[in-house]
Structure 1
Amino acid sequence: MIQLNNVTLTFPDGDGRVTAVDHVTLSARPGTVTGITGPSGSGKSSLLAVAATLIHPDSGQVMIDEVDAAQLSATEATALRRDAIGIVFQQANLLPSLTALEQLAVMNELGAPHSRGRRAAVRTHAAELLASVGLGDQMHKRPHQLSGGQRQRINIARALMNDPKVLLVDEPTSALDQERGASIIELILRLTDERNTSTLLVTHDLVHLPRMHAVMNMVDGQLDTVRAEALVAAN
């Protein structure tokens, strides 16, 4: 489970500071997807960065499995992020020279102890994850041989390599057409249920919001729970 309690984040702005996240409280329970939407510049990306332990907030708690990530050192936060948090970036950022299988397997090499002895098991796990996102027959292809939707599926599978408790997803459909975007949302919903992750998903694509378990709207750094249908109708 992930829970943010009264989180505030500010950045320097000339002689003062600008507030990006303003006393935000939210939680996502295991097996659920919470959608976060709002206009550009409203603080969504900053909020996701705080949830991902990439930025320390000025104040408040970031509780991940009963650990307050806001109180961790940089080294401790890196370990927590590696072990408990999966991040799906807006762009897949795949390494051009690696196959789909290798894109996932390389996650085993990122500072985890005893990684060399686990390589065979890691490749098996990577193959299983690629099969779970519908790419079992594409695992030996490189990014230039795959479609945008397929690359995004690898991006999602890679985020799940370390069996995270929390999944953070940033605009997963922004570079896809509506049909491929809908299939990616369906995939995230299914994997969240199957793997019992607590998922936060930032999106501008309002059409997908009614399928999510909860929807939050962010404006000027502040977050409110809304009915997805009402938000779609208003736009």
Structure 2
Amino acid sequence: MVESTVDTITAVRASALSLESVSRRHGRGDRETTALDAVSCAVPVGSFTAVVGPSGSGKSTFLQCAAGLDRPTAGTVRIGGTDLGALSEAALTRLRRDRIGFVFQSHALNLVPSLSIEENVVLPLVLAGADPEDERVLSRGRDLLTRVGLAGRGAQGPATLSGGQQQRVAVARALVTEPEVIFADEPTASLDPESAALVLGLLRDAVRIDGRTVVMVTHDPVAASWADTVLTMDGGRLR
């Protein structure tokens, strides 16, 4: 028992993300539904994990609970050893801002239309208190735009970009805080194959070059093939 406990603690500390018996139920009584059913897993630091499954399988709820966007009904979610359930709403907001990056399916959720492309990239730094005119902040934004193939486009608005280019800006913004985990929710769902490959390549490079951890929900087996590990969900459980 002692060895098992020690092994568990060691595994949690070595994981960028861990879920222990996580359940999420909605409604009450006869109307109660279970979106997640006692899900447990550990995602290693510096890995790319895809979560796949049919519509209604629980994969989106998995991402929401894992990223601290929704609180589970039962169980424990940890980011880098931090128990999300033990955090206040304010502390959880700070953790999402400082230690997590997001790439959403919807362009409307990814980018703020009233901000320039560069301002969108550095927005998490500004929200954390950085001076938007600080040369280090500006340089960070420019460097990331160069990395995603959009050098020289920073002063433009998001509306001037194609959907694939907007997703590449979203990846740049997800990287700007050097997060522990990047969560991507169907990041290529509305993209053509070439644009999708560019976005997936950037996520792959975030793991390979930067040592980031990427967790991606997708229904696309081609997108899932870019990952190191594929987790399959069905009926709210990992199969």
Alignment TM-score, normalising by the size of structure 2: 0.87
Give 1:106's aligned residue: 123
Give 2:226's aligned residue: 211
% same residue: 38
Report the RMSD for the aligned CA atoms in angstroms: 1.7
Q: 2-side partners of 1:2 and 1:171: how far apart?
A: 19
Give 1:19's aligned residue: 34
Query: Is the partner of 1:25 in helix, strand or coil?
Result: strand
Give 1:34's aligned residue: 49
Distance 1:121 1:9, change over 3 A: same
> How far 1:118 moved relative to its partner?
7.5
Please give the per-residue CA displacement for 1:162-212, whole angstroms capped at 9, x wherever unaligned: 110011000011110112112211111111222211111011111232331
Query: Is the partner of 1:216 in helix, strand or coil?
Result: strand
Aligned length: 222
- Equivalent pair of 1:20/1:43 in contact (CA under 8 Å): yes
2:200 equivalent among 182, 185, 205: 185
- Equivalent pair of 1:85/1:168 in contact (CA under 8 Å): yes
Q: 1-side partners of 2:223 and 2:61: how far apart?
A: 22
Distance 1:117 1:101, change over 3 A: closer
Q: 1-side partners of 2:196 and 2:132: how far apart?
A: 38
- Equivalent pair of 1:43/1:219 in contact (CA under 8 Å): yes
- Equivalent pair of 1:2/1:62 in contact (CA under 8 Å): yes
1:201 aligns with 2:216: yes
Q: 2-side partners of 1:117 and 1:36: how far apart?
A: 36
Q: 1-side partners of 2:175 and 2:206: how far apart?
A: 9
Query: Is the partner of 1:39 in helix, strand or coil?
Result: coil
> How far 1:11 moved relative to its partner?
0.9
1:49 aligns with 2:64: yes
Q: 2-side partners of 1:116 and 1:127: how far apart?
A: 15
- Equivalent pair of 1:108/1:119 in contact (CA under 8 Å): no
Structure 2 letter corresponding to 1:55: D
Q: 2-side partners of 1:149 and 1:21: how far apart?
A: 31
Structure 2 letter corresponding to 1:74: E
Give 2:12's aligned residue: none
Shifted more, 136-145 versus 51-60: the winner is 136-145
Q: 1-side partners of 2:67 and 2:130: how far apart?
A: 23
